[in-house]
């Protein structure tokens, strides 16, 4: 019988050195330090990385904290700005705008959540725009930012933040981190994979140079191609393009003309949407679209016509298919990053899904034989995460009131039951999904429901326990508290300077 030490995974091979590969390498180097694990990462300069990815979610700060990374240093090296949320323009109908914030709206009044009171007051024509009761939104609108208090005096002062940065600089930062902690970086192109005929476990990969690299656990971070998980293991792909049909994008950076606000912007276009992500030294832009409704030429023209400053590179076209592998962990191979799946960048979820993949892998770190119970649990957790992201992304599309054929079809498509139930619960009684943990808590759903003009038919009957006058006063108090707080905050750029987080790299393409 084998002793425990024979069962421990010691040889870990990561294929791919994009954001996914280096996040994985850095996290494993940190969390497996002190064990005798040998981590090797293979990347190919000839193949390169996908080269896009700029907006993140607040959870990335926990990841950086886990690695003991100094935030100001990271921001300076990745040209990062602060992100307090995403502004959606023209998504309900042309002229509409709202922000999905990294913070909450108002605070409960009596026993009832704030939004029920807002709905009641709004029906009387007495409420301000829903966003004006949220500190993160008001700060974003006024281009202001200070670090959130650790223990806010009230919910009205609570918010969090993420970054807008250059993901390839983030990968480079993490590559230095990981190699300094013993990760072995191997430059070369994988041209063959050798698997055990009986178990199907990957045993080694071969590089173009002829070098053979063997391992016990393989992490596929090879991007859309899914070199190990699909090309070798034929795991299968759950295609979600009926639900999220956008399948192409053009991306282009431009010079800064408008203020570098602490938020990402998404503007609906005739057959998709356009992003604007301000970094310290340039603006990232892209047009995500569905090729069944607009030609490539029209798509790129629309993007270039809507840049705020001169382009500083040629537009780059990207092709993708929304969906995920049937299993993100198959035998001794775990797919993390684009090799595992992609759900379009509307809510900046890709890097977060990489993070979840890594954290779940660390929590369920296997023995050599990769017990089915660990593999199944990993796949269950990741499926849950992907399903929730898919539903939340779809929500933006299905709740539109626009006229173009793309938008009409999006409205009329068949929804997954899980999404239909959530929309129905809100529409009838203002009930919002509440998860124990994970992405997209009630504040997120509320901002899209209300921002895209879906209001509940009835609300919590307990709102009537509060007099009309008390409710009006409370709403006014909340708004004034938020206004006052925003008035005391630093300007966003002044904050970056004060925090010594200003870009320290070469900025020859800056405005």
**Residues annotated as part of the active site:** 83
Between helix 372-398 and helix 350-363 the angle, nearest 10°, is 160
Question: In angstroms, rounded to a whole number, what is the distance separating the alpha carbons of residues 75 and 67?
Answer: 15
Record the tokens describing residue 463, joined without a space. 């709102």
Q: Closest CB to ligand FAD among 190 and 299?
A: 190
436: CB partners within 8 A, 6+ apart = none
Least distance between ligand FAD and beta carbon 274 (Å): 11
Least distance between ligand FAD and beta carbon 6 (Å): 30
Binding-site residue total for ligand FAD (CB under 6 A)? 39
Least distance between ligand FAD and beta carbon 376 (Å): 23
Inter-residue contact 251 to 316 (CB < 8 Å): yes
First to last CA, the chain: 66
Residue 18 within binding range of ligand FAD, rule CB under 6 A: yes
95: CB partners within 8 A, 6+ apart = none
Is 304 strand, coil or helix?
helix
Selected binder of ligand FAD within 9, 39, 50, 213 (CB under 6 A)? 50
Residue 223 within binding range of ligand FAD, rule CB under 6 A: yes
In 337-469, the DSSP E strands lie at 341-342
Selected binder of ligand FAD within 6, 7, 35, 48 (CB under 6 A)? 48
**Using CB under 6 A as the criterion, what x/- string covers residues 166-195 for binding ligand FAD?**
-x---------------------xx-----
Stretch of residues binding ligand FAD (CB under 6 A), selected from 93-101, 215-223, 448-456, 467-475: 215-223
Selected binder of ligand FAD within 26, 49, 130, 283 (CB under 6 A)? 49
Is 421 strand, coil or helix?
helix
Tokens 């294929």 belong to 15
Question: Which pairing describes strands 38-43 and 11-15: parallel, antiparallel, or unpaired?
Answer: parallel
> How many CA within 13 A on the CB side of residue 448?
26
Q: Closest CB to ligand FAD among 106 and 315?
A: 315
Residue 43 within binding range of ligand FAD, rule CB under 6 A: yes
- Helices and strands (DSSP H and E) totals, the chain: 15, 21
Stretch of residues binding ligand FAD (CB under 6 A), selected from 218-226, 254-262, 367-375, 400-408: 218-226
Question: In angstroms, rounded to a whole number, what is the distance separating the alpha carbons of residues 187 and 275?
Answer: 33
Stretch of residues binding ligand FAD (CB under 6 A), selected from 129-137, 211-219, 222-230, 294-302: 222-230
Selected binder of ligand FAD within 54, 87, 113, 391 (CB under 6 A)? 54
* Of 502, 462, 393, residue with least CA distance to 110: 462
Residue 321 within binding range of ligand FAD, rule CB under 6 A: no
Measured in whole angstroms, how far is the alpha carbon of residue 104 from the centre of its chain?
18
Question: Footprint of ligand FAD on residues 341-400 (CB under 6 A)?
Answer: 345, 348, 350-351
Selected binder of ligand FAD within 69, 158, 318, 510 (CB under 6 A)? 318
Selected binder of ligand FAD within 227, 271, 410, 419 (CB under 6 A)? 227
Q: Closest CB to ligand FAD among 330 and 474?
A: 330
Sign of the alpha-carbon dihedral angle for 164, 165, 168, 170: negative
Question: In angstroms, rounded to a whole number, what is the distance separating the alpha carbons of residues 48 and 350?
Answer: 18
Inter-residue contact 389 to 81 (CB < 8 Å): no
Record the tokens describing residue 74, joined without a space. 């990271």
If phi > 0 it is left, if psi is from -120 to 50 it is alpha, else beta; for residue 366 that is beta
Question: In angstroms, rounded to a whole number, what is the distance separating the alpha carbons of residues 399 and 382?
Answer: 26
Stretch of residues binding ligand FAD (CB under 6 A), selected from 46-54, 145-153, 327-335, 394-402: 46-54
Q: Closest CB to ligand FAD among 50 and 202?
A: 50
Least distance between ligand FAD and beta carbon 332 (Å): 18
Measured in whole angstroms, how far is the alpha carbon of residue 339 from the centre of its chain?
16
Q: What is the DSSP letter of 229?
A: I
Q: Closest CB to ligand FAD among 20 and 482?
A: 20
Selected binder of ligand FAD within 103, 245, 323, 337 (CB under 6 A)? 337
> Which value, to the nearest 10 degrees, does the dihedral of the CA atoms of residues 20, 21, 24, 27 take?
-110
Least distance between ligand FAD and beta carbon 27 (Å): 14
Least distance between ligand FAD and beta carbon 267 (Å): 15
Q: Closest CB to ligand FAD among 137 and 354?
A: 354
Residue 233 within binding range of ligand FAD, rule CB under 6 A: no
> How many CA within 13 A on the CB side of residue 420?
7
Q: Closest CB to ligand FAD among 266 and 452?
A: 266
Selected binder of ligand FAD within 9, 20, 156, 299 (CB under 6 A)? 20
Residue 52 within binding range of ligand FAD, rule CB under 6 A: yes
Over the Cα atoms of the chain, what is R_g? Answer: 24
Stretch of residues binding ligand FAD (CB under 6 A), selected from 31-39, 255-263, 335-343, 453-461: 335-343
Interacting residue ranges for ligand FAD, rule: CB under 6 A:
15-21, 42-44, 47-50, 52-56, 167, 189-190, 221-223, 225, 227, 249, 251, 286, 318, 320, 337-339, 345, 348, 350-351
């Amino acid at each position: 019988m084998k002793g425990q030490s024979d069962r421990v995974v010691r040889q870990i091979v990561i294929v791919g050195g994009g954001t996914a590969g280096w996040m994985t390498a850095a996290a494993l180097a940190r969390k497996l330090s002190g064990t005798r694990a040998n981590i090797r990462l293979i990347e190919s300069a000839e193949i390169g990385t996908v080269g896009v990815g700029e907006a993140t979610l607040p959870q990335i700060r926990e990841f950086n904290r886990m690695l003991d990374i100094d935030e100001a240093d990271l921001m300076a090296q990745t040209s990062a700005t602060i992100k307090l949320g995403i502004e959606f323009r023209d998504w309900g109908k042309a002229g509409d705008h709202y922000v999905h914030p990294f913070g909450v709206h108002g605070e409960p009044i009596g026993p009832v959540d704030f939004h029920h009171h807002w709905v009641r007051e709004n029906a009387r024509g007495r409420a301000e725009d829903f966003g004006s009761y949220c500190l993160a939104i008001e700060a974003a609108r006024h281009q202001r930012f200070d670090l959130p208090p650790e223990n806010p005096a009230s919910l009205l002062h609570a918010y969090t933040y993420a970054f807008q940065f250059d993901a390839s600089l983030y990968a480079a930062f993490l590559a230095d981190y990981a190699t300094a902690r013993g990760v072995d970086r191997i430059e070369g192109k994988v041209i063959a994979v050798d698997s055990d005929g009986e178990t199907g476990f990957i045993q080694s990969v071969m590089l173009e140079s002829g070098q053979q690299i063997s391992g016990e656990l393989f992490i596929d971070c090879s991007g859309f191609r899914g070199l190990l998980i699909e090309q070798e293991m034929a795991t299968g792909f759950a295609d979600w393009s009926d639900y999220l049909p956008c399948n192409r994008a053009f991306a282009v950076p431009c010079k800064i003309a408008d203020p570098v606000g602490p938020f990402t912007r998404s503007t609906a276009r005739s057959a998709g949407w356009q992003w604007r992500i301000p970094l310290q030294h340039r603006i990232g832009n892209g047009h995500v679209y569905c090729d069944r409704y607009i030609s490539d030429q029209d798509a790129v023209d629309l993007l270039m016509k809507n840049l705020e400053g001169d382009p500083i590179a040629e537009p780059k076209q990207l092709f993708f298919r929304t969906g995920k592998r049937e299993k993100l962990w198959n035998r001794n191979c775990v797919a993390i990053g684009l090799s595992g799946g992609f759900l379009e960048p509307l809510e900046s979820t890709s890097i977060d899904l990489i993070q979840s993949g890594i954290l779940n892998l660390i929590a369920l770190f296997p023995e050599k034989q990769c017990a089915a119970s660990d593999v199944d649990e990993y796949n269950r957790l990741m499926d849950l995460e992907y399903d929730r992201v898919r539903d939340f992304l779809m929500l933006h599309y299905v709740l539109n009131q626009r006229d173009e054929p793309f938008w009409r079809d999006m409205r009329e498509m068949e929804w997954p039951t899980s999404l239909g139930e959530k929309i129905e619960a809100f529409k009838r009684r203002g009930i919002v999904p509440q998860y124990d943990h994970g992405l997209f808590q009630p504040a997120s759903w509320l901002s899209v429901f209300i921002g895209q003009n879906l209001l509940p038919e009835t609300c919590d009957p307990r709102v009537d326990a509060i007099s009309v006058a008390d409710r009006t006063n409370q709403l006014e108090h909340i708004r004034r508290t938020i206004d006052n707080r925003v008035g005391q905050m630093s300007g966003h750029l002044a904050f970056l300077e004060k925090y010594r987080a200003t870009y320290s790299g070469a900025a020859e393409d800056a405005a």
